A = this chain, B = another copy of it.
Amino acid sequence: MRIIDQRALPEAEITRDLESAESVADAIRTLQVRGAPLIGIAAAMGLVAAMRDDRALARATFLGRLNQRATLLGAARPTAVNLRWALERMLTTAAATAGEGSNLWERLHVEATSIWEEDRAMCRRIGEYGLSILSDGANVLTHCNTGALATGGIGTALAPIYLAHEQGRRLHVYIDETRPLLQGSRLTAWELMHAGIACTLITDATAASLMRQAKVDTVLVGADRICANGDFANKIGTYGLAVLARHHGVPFYCAAPWSTVDASLAEGDLIPIEQRAPSEVTAMAGRPIAPDGAAALNPAFDVTPSRYVTAFITDRGIVQPPFRS
């Protein structure tokens, strides 16, 4: 299984070949592979790669190993539900398939490929449904990276932007740099510039001022997990944008595949929020940017209550909560 190490972008395009569940889990944990839909695909493909040498095993032993590895992969990151969704789908498929290890492995290979292909089609559908919210000349503000680098296709929140651009609509995208890991500067700017879409980087704290100056027509973000009531977790900073958008009368859309819905959670405050290392805030590219010993909080996500969301753009259409999986 071959990945692009997203930590090195845009300075370098480094590819890695991963063969074990440990190395895939590590790639997910360290954000070499990131983006809620993509980590689901990576986990499914990673499971197939890791089980390749176990094809000769008898059914029960094969399933035992499969379960162990799925548990390992599922623990790599806690917030995005797509990871667990993809792994559960793989486990359910294996359980429902007759035969020994080699049969199961072949079927898992097909299933992982389906997850990827469905993701690609899902992105396109999100893009098509989302087209209606982007008029010619619109200024769109987005946060983090929700494009081709976060999915198996053209992205979630970026998908409508790609399709609108394809159709000749003139858009301009303000990209929040998205501290601490700068997915906006490093990844979204890279994607949009490659696609020839006009874009401008801003620091995260600049968005409010642009809204006050009426320079933002629409805010469009992704999601890592959406609860039954429509509360959702996304990259830290999303909630602040939602409040600011509401305050300034700017429509605020969340675009995500249906697999992001976790209807088992009634509301947002039940979503586990990943706390990442303080060093992501206090150092940058290995160089300290704060005094030695400074304390820092580094939640990777925040929760945006559903009432701030104008609508959810999904592969099943533009929808409103409540959601059932």
Contact = CB atoms under 8 A, between A and B. Distances in A.
A297 B179 contact: no
B236 A205 contact: yes
Contact of A297 (B202, B240, B284, B303): B202
Q: How large is the interface on A (under 10, 10 to 19, 20 to 34, 35 or more residues)?
A: 35 or more
Given A10-B290, A205-B236, A206-B236, A295 B185 contact: no
Contacts of A51: none
A289 B243 contact: no
A1 interface: no
B209 A290 contact: no
Contacts of A10: 288, 290-292
A149 to B, nearest CB: 13
Contact of A237 (B205, B239, B282, B290): B205
Nearest to A194: B291
Given A201-B295, A281-B203, A295-B199, A290 B189 contact: yes
Given A236-B209, A291-B10, A296-B201, A177 B177 contact: no
A2 interface: no
Contacts of A203: 179-180, 204, 236-237, 281, 298
A299 interface: yes
A222 B282 CA distance: 23
A145 B291 CA distance: 14
B294 A205 contact: no
A114 interface: no
Interface of A: 10-11, 174, 176-180, 182, 185-186, 189-190, 193, 199-210, 212, 236-237, 239-240, 243-244, 247, 278, 281-282, 284-285, 287-299, 302-303
23 contacts: A10-B290, A10-B291, A174-B297, A177-B179, A182-B289, A185-B289, A193-B293, A193-B294, A200-B295, A201-B294, A203-B204, A205-B237, A205-B240, A206-B236, A206-B297, A207-B240, A208-B237, A208-B240, A208-B302, A209-B239, A209-B240, A285-B285, A285-B289
